Structure 1
Amino acid sequence: MQLSRYAFIVKGPDYFPEQHTSELRSPKFSTRVVGVSDYQTALLIAEQLIADGIQLIELCGGFTESEAVELQLSTGKKIPIGVVKYDDVLE
C-alpha cells in the first residue's frame, strides 16, 4: 500500500490537540501535525489517528525511543511509529 496519510506528533509545554492541530493536503497526500504536552495525551491521539486512517506516525525529538516503542506496543503495532533523533553534533 502506498503511503498517503502521515501524522507527526509534537510534544511541548502547553500544547493541546484541540488547539494545536494542523493538516496539509494535496490530492495524493495528507500530513496531520498534532501538538501534545505529555505522553498520555500522545497515546490517546495516536489511537485516534489510527482510527482516522493514518498510515504512519512520527514523534518529535521530545519523545524518547522507549516512549516510541511503548506507543507502538500500546497501539497494537497497527502502523509504524518512529521517533526523530538528533545527533549531539551541534553545540
Structure 2
Amino acid sequence: MALTKFGFIVTGDDFIQHQGTERFSMKVVGVRSASQGPAVAREMVAEGIQLIELCGGFGPVWTSKVLEAIEYKIPVGSVSYGPESIDGMYHLFAK
C-alpha cells in the first residue's frame, strides 16, 4: 500500500490547509498548543490519514500522547532538532 494521505500538525496558530494531487493528499493543521494535538490526530485517523508527522514543538511527551490518543493505529513521527538548535527552540517556544 502506498502513502496517499499524509497529515502534519504544527504548533503556531489555528488553521487547516489541504494540498495534493489526484494520487496524494496532505492535510496540515495548525494548533495553538500541543495539547490540541491528540484531538486533531483522532480526526485525521477518522478521515483516513495514513501517517502523521508532528512539528518539533510537540516534543517526546506530546508525541507519545498523540500516539496513545489514536491507539497506535497509524505511524506518528516528530521533527527533532539537534543540540545546536536547543537555544533557538527555547526562544521560539518559551512563553
Instruction: Give the TM-score, by structure 1 length.
Output: 0.86
Q: How many residues align?
A: 86
Q: Which amino acid aligns with 2:61?
A: S
CA offsets 1:8-48 (integer angstroms, 9 cap, x no match): 10012xx12xxx11111111111111000113321111100
For the 8 Å contact 2:39–2:69, the answer to whether it is kept is: no
More helix by proportion, 1 or 2?
Answer: 2
Structure 2, unmatched stretches of 5+, are 89-95
Q: Once the 2 structures are TM-superposed, how far is the Cα of residue 62 of structure 1 from its aligned partner?
A: 0.7
Higher relative contact order (CA 8 A, sep 6+): 1
Per the alignment, residue 25 of structure 1 pairs with 20
**Separation in 1 of the partners of 2:75 and 2:7?**
11
Give the root-mean-square deviation of aligned CA atoms.
1.4
Per the alignment, residue 10 of structure 1 pairs with 10
Q: Is residue 44 of structure 2 the alignment partner of residue 42 of structure 1?
A: no
Q: Which amino acid aligns with 1:53?
A: G
Structure 1: which 4+ aligned runs deviate by more than 4 Å? none
**Separation in 2 of the partners of 1:82 and 1:25?**
20
Instruction: Give the TM-score, by structure 2 length.
Output: 0.82
Could you tell me which of 37, 56, 60 is aligned with 2:55?
60
Identity of aligned residues (%): 36
Per the alignment, residue 82 of structure 2 pairs with 87
Structure 1, unmatched stretches of 5+, are none
SS in 2 for 1:77: coil
